[in-house]
Chain A
Amino acid sequence: MAKSLEILAYITDNKERVISGDPLTLYITDEAEREQYMRDLGLALRADVVHLKNGDHILISRS
């Protein structure tokens, strides 16, 4: 049952949380654009989306 988790992308509307490195961090402020982006990425990468309590999202893949 133990699965390996990988964070594929971090999506935030706070510029201060955008840092370089792995995983990819995206700065998107528009709510609708962010929703569409997450859906497209989630489908393409077969990833799940976690909505953090601070409002940011992370895309994770479980294999």
Chain B
Amino acid sequence: MGNSAEKFLDFHTLLVIICGIVMGTIARIITLKVDTRQNPSFPSGYFINIIMGFVAASLGAVAIPALLAKEFTAVTFLTLAIQHFRETRNMEKESLEKLEHTEYTKRGAAYIDGIAKTFESRNYIAMLTALLVVLILLLVATDGILVNAMLAAISGTCIIYALKSFTKGKIIDDICTIREGKIAIEQSDLLVDGMYVSNILGTHRSRELFLNEGVAFVIEPKKGKFRLTIENIGQRQAILFEATRTFGIKRYAFTRRNFKAGVLIVAFVTIIRDPKAIIDVIKETPVLENSRKIHTIMNTDLGGTFNG
């Protein structure tokens, strides 16, 4: 009987683990966004990610109590968890790649990679939150459900805020100004604010369609260095994708760089014509990690040669 009693957790440890799991799961729920991007999809994708967050939080929450019980093999659970999250990233990537042909325009490999990485990192946020909350509660070591719950809520909120701030990326609005462009057609050339975009409007019908129903936007970087980011192929694809997915596309979708003016032009014939709302969506497009150039790192003279 004595041996079987040792197998059960004491009340305090159980309480601490539960607090950790709850805070970890809350961390995943807070980082789940349902917005115009609709990724993850609602409700199934949303539910899957909450469960994944719960599993991550559970693994994080039991790690320290397991170590305190001299179960050093518990560390291997964390490595298994990391392996599992990486698998989730690959699954997300494959899933989005398979859906590429069903969208109005393609997301592009860079955007898909960014989304998959974000999904993976958010599971780590859930796991780390649970782990750190449990650590704090064990260090403070107070009894009482209410005190532990409050301490978990306060410390968990601080940890979530810190981790969210650390992993928060920029959006297009942070680095660019966006305005609606004036569409004009000369022969079969499409011009936006007098800048050439395309020459494939070779029929009267296509020209009329673009003049009457087309929308065009001029994206201007706030600083010269941001041109490197918005002129990146993956970034341009992501901007076009977000704009066309939210408002649909009847025909034609163009992105064109204008080197002289240093701007990016996005033009397409949309299903729902609401230029102001489209500008808002473009503003919210994330700056992809792959396209983002951090100049403080680029300017660092660490020695070495090009390409490592």
Contact = CB atoms under 8 A, between A and B. Distances in A.
Contact of B188 (A1, A39, A51): A51
Contacts of B204: 35
Chain A interface residue bracket vs B: 10 to 19
Contacts of B129: none
Contacts of A50: 188, 199-200, 202
A1 B253 CA distance: 11
A58 B188 CA distance: 12
A52 B28 CA distance: 55
Given A1-B108, A1-B233, A48 B202 contact: yes
Contact of A42 (B187, B203, B233): B203
A39 B208 CA distance: 13
A5 to B, nearest CB: 10
Given A1-B108, A1-B236, A49 B187 contact: no
A38 interface: yes
A8 interface: no
Interface string B185-212: 0011000000000011111111000000
A35 B205 CA distance: 9
B202 A51 contact: yes
B237 interface: yes
B199 A39 contact: no
A60 B203 CA distance: 13
B202 A49 contact: yes
A53 interface: yes
Contacts of A60: 200
A38 B202 contact: yes
A28 B82 CA distance: 66
A56 B203 CA distance: 12
Given A35-B204, A57-B202, 13 more contacts: A1-B108, A1-B233, A1-B237, A35-B203, A38-B202, A39-B203, A42-B203, A48-B202, A49-B188, A49-B201, A50-B200, A51-B188, A58-B202
20 contacts: A1-B108, A35-B204, A38-B202, A39-B205, A42-B203, A48-B200, A48-B202, A49-B188, A49-B200, A49-B202, A49-B203, A49-B206, A50-B199, A50-B200, A50-B202, A51-B187, A51-B188, A51-B199, A53-B187, A57-B202
Interface of B: 108, 187-188, 199-206, 233, 236-237, 255
